[in-house]
Chains A and B, each alone.
Chain A
Amino acid sequence: MILQNAVWAVALCGMGLVALVFIHVIIQAGKPADEAATRKSARTARMLQGWLFAVLLVGFVAGSWATLHRFPIPLQHAALPAKQVVEVVGRQWSWQITPATVQAGSLVEFRVTSDDVNHGFALYAPDGRIVTQTQAMPGYTNKLLHAFREPGTYTVQCLEYCGLGHVPMKTTLEVVAARGE
């Protein structure tokens, strides 16, 4: 599944859940409680708060572990396990990418930097979705590891506003099928 679709679905569910709770309480807000009912609902509220805390805590720990134990960013000061290396330099307002052709199916290491201001190196799949990205910052080289699943013409688009030529600052990267396929 495309990551963006999963994120969108989770966000819609989360925001929808918040909305439902608010709608429920707002409907109830029109029905005044007598003193006994107020005391009872105060007790229930405290209990629910405890449960909410427990649920959030479990989600927090499980989610953090799931998203961080395999860290999505490679170590920057170590040799990386990629056979293909692509040097990327951004400048106002063009990309220099060598080589501009890579093979699908195995890891590619992008070494991304900038000659002038901050730029954003984003790879768009042929279907128009971002597959991965990193920043291009002057004075630093960010190493990005990515294995392309599908061959095709990918678009490199600058994602950090860098002046007047920010929109046209794009180029292409050819991803070809791995040899022997």
Chain B
Amino acid sequence: MASLVMFPEDERLAGGERVAFNLYMITAAALFVLMMLIGLTMRTAQAKWLNVPPDLFYNLLSMHGAGMVGTMALATTAVMWFFLRKYVRLHLWAFVANYVLFMLGALCIIVSIFVGGYGALWTFLYPLPLDSAGLWTSWSAALFMLGYLLIGVGSLLFYLDAAAAIIKVHGNLGRALGLQWLFGGTIDPNHPKAVVASTMVIIANSLGILAGAVVLVMSLITVFDPQITLNALVAKNLIYWFGHMYINATIYMGVIAVYELLPRYTGKPYPISRPFLWSWAVSTVFVIVVFPHHLLMDFAQPRWLAIVGQVVSWGAGFPVFLVTAYGALANLYRSNIRWTMPSRLLALSMFGWAAGIVPAIMDGTIHVNLVMHNTQWVPGHFHFYLLLGVLAMVLALMFHEIGSRAHAPPNSGADKLGFPMYLAGGLIFVLAFLDAGHLSVPRRMAEHLPAWTFTDKLGSVGAILVVLAMLYFATRITIGLLKTPKPGGVGVGTPDTAG
């Protein structure tokens, strides 16, 4: 069961672990600001407040997409590592190797986009990387894919190390998921939620990354020998299998922060339960088979796959509403929680996930897809749960950790201002996207019709607020993480929430 001590001894970061964690989190905070600035640039360009030539726009769009997905994965990997290391023995070298490979991969991607002119987006949808009509070279497409491969290898290394460590303690991955308690038996109350969530991510995302590796290598071969062609539909299936799982995994890694930290702020135990184990077991299956909802408008795809796409998309709402959000709300209810930065962000993250999944489920419906597919409805729903859900989970851990260095959860006047700014900006930003989808504004367009610019302007205003708040958060987190822990160590403070 998760600790009720605010800063438990076994979580304390020292030596190399502290350096590695700081590297992950400070890098992520800086990248979030940069990628948000790129996003803001695109929104203001669509609003016609800024003049961005189309070729540069698609470079920026490729950078923003790949950059945000990658940074989200980097940051949530650190969340998973931070908590999982308390329960199983992880090797620091694997965690550091993931960081190094990520940075190398990021470098390839940046050079590919800003030197080579790559602009086939983060989805590298075959055969577009080969067909730039002279806009980018084939070496830049190859470099982009190589960057992905490096990042994927880093993730796999980290997952393999984590899988080995989990198996050492729990025997096998099924037992780590708690499958032995699905139909009966006494659940071990000390079985860590962090282990359950991590196991699910390891299983699903390893499969996704392998699918990604296959299609990346296949695409790389076609770059070097265009005589060899791929089946575009097969390539698309593999790309979305990989892409969907990779970004989905960030939510499941990030939510570990909620399981671990929320009970400390509410002072209320957050025990493991059979519905909890069921929800993670079915989510493991759902996340692996839900990807066909990206291909609902590919009519050549077998009909049963489209049905799987819709039915599983709807089913995926059950664990989120019924167990994760519900459990967090039950933990919050009449708890006398102390509202500080981490606890505010934890509550926000659950709201962002639960509310953001509403438009997501609707878009997973074939009828709806017929009029909403590839409109701004899509960025609307995924920004909802990435910006207000997953990023809030990551920020919660970051703020919690800087609290451990200062011996109290952060709650300055500027924090109290930064939080509502982030929340209001985020809501305006995502609702502007969703409204644009409702008005049939297409996604991924450098220029918009005059009739569409109202939502672009609204979205830009929301984005400005979010960027300002995130800039403040990133500065505060960087300074806080670099602060040397006071002598006496972590763990001495705030025993008042235990109990």
User: How many Å from the CB of B442 to the closest CB on chain A?
Assistant: 5
User: How many Å from the CB of B186 to the closest CB on chain A?
Assistant: 18
Which of A5, A72, A161 has the largest number of chain B CB atoms within 10 A? A161
In the complex, whether A128 has a CB less than 8 A from a CB of chain B is: yes
Please report the C-alpha to C-alpha distance between residue A175 and residue B176 in the assembled complex, in whole angstroms: 60
Q: Which of B77-85, B129-137, B187-195, B240-248 contacts A (4 or more CB under 8 A)?
A: B129-137
| Chain A stretch 98-129: residues in CB contact (< 8 A) with chain B | 116-118, 120, 122, 124, 128-129
Seen from chain A, the residues whose Cβ lies within 8 Å of a Cβ on chain B are 3-5, 7-8, 10-11, 14-15, 18-19, 21-22, 25-26, 28-33, 37-38, 41-42, 45, 49, 52-53, 56, 60, 63-64, 67-68, 71-76, 92, 116-118, 120, 122, 124, 128-135, 137-144, 157, 159-167
User: How many Å from the CB of B146 to the closest CB on chain A?
Assistant: 21
In the complex, whether B217 has a CB less than 8 A from a CB of chain A is: no
Q: Are A133 and B311 in contact (CB under 8 A)?
A: no
Quick one: closest B residue to A146, CB to CB? B370
Which of B58, B120, B131 has the largest number of chain A CB atoms within 10 A? B131
Q: Are B359 and A11 in contact (CB under 8 A)?
A: yes
Partner of A134, one of B297, B372, B435, B438: B297
Q: Are B231 and A128 in contact (CB under 8 A)?
A: no
Q: Are A128 and B451 in contact (CB under 8 A)?
A: yes
Contacts of B307 in A (CB 8 A): 68
Q: Which of B15-23, B98-106, B316-324 contacts A (4 or more CB under 8 A)?
A: B316-324
Q: How many pairs, one residue from A and one from B, have CB atoms within 8 Å of each other in the complex?
A: 213
Given contacts A71-B303, A163-B133, contact A18 B355 (CB under 8 A): yes
Q: Are B322 and A139 in contact (CB under 8 A)?
A: no
- Interface on chain B toward A: helix, strand, loop, or mixed SS? helix
Given contacts A14-B358, A163-B135, contact A117 B310 (CB under 8 A): no
A-B contact pairs, 5 of them (CB 8 A): A7-B438, A26-B347, A28-B333, A72-B367, A72-B370
| Chain B stretch 119-154: residues in CB contact (< 8 A) with chain A | 119-121, 125, 127-128, 131-133, 135
Given contacts A67-B367, A142-B300, contact A25 B310 (CB under 8 A): no
Binary contact readout B329-362 vs A (1 if CB under 8 angstroms, 0 otherwise): 1101111110000000001001100110011001
User: How many Å from the CB of A97 to the closest CB on chain B?
Assistant: 18
Q: Are A41 and B232 in contact (CB under 8 A)?
A: no
Closest 5 pairs (CB-CB, A-B)? A32-B336, A14-B358, A33-B334, A142-B299, A8-B438
